[in-house]
């Protein structure tokens, strides 16, 4: 059972480039989340989804977009990368109906130069 899988693990982007961070989970969880972690800080919520076709903004959504076409996948899109988006990104999932414990992926370390 792989849990929550994120790709890539590391990426360097130039200012203005775009990329998609991939997240997939195999636990049939209906809730999925994207967080970012800046140095010395806790995690902040970017976007979340309560099920396929439904997404909502978190605390820090500016500069990001998401989609949720399937239960398993929840990609995060950066359209015009900025240095302020240098961070570690974590994807998570949980099952609201049965068990609200959230499980996290291993993170994607992104540097924008």
Q: Which residues make up the interface to other proteins (CB under 8 A)?
A: 31, 33, 35, 40-45, 48, 50, 58-59, 88, 90, 92, 96, 99-104, 106-107, 109
Q: How far apart are CA 90 and CA 93, in angstroms?
A: 10
DSSP letter (8 states) at residue 73: B
Angle in degrees, CA 10, 40, 105, rounded to 5: 40
Q: How far apart are CA 39 and CA 44, in angstroms?
A: 12
Identify the bridge partners of residue 73 per DSSP, sorted by sequence position.
24
**Least Cβ distance, residue 4 to other proteins (angstroms):** 10
Is the Cβ of residue 6 or residue 24 nearer to other proteins in the bound state?
6
**Least Cβ distance, residue 59 to other proteins (angstroms):** 8
Is the Cβ of residue 43 or residue 112 nearer to other proteins in the bound state?
43
Is the Cβ of residue 69 or residue 106 nearer to other proteins in the bound state?
106
**Least Cβ distance, residue 42 to other proteins (angstroms):** 3
| Torsion angle, alpha carbons of 99, 96, 105, 79, to 10 | 180
Is the Cβ of residue 11 or residue 103 nearer to other proteins in the bound state?
103
């Amino acid at each position: 059972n792989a849990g929550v899988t994120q790709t890539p693990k590391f990426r360097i982007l130039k200012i203005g480039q775009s990329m998609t961070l991939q997240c997939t989970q195999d636990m049939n969880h209906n809730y999925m989340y994207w967080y970012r972690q800046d140095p010395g800080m806790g995690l902040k919520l970017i976007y979340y989804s309560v099920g396929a076709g439904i997404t909502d903004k978190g605390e820090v959504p500016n500069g990001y977009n998401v989609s949720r076409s399937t239960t398993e996948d929840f990609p995060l899109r950066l359209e015009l990368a900025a240095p302020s988006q240098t961070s570690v990104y974590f994807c998570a999932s949980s099952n609201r109906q049965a068990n609200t414990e959230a499980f996290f992926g291993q993170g994607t370390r992104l540097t924008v130069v």
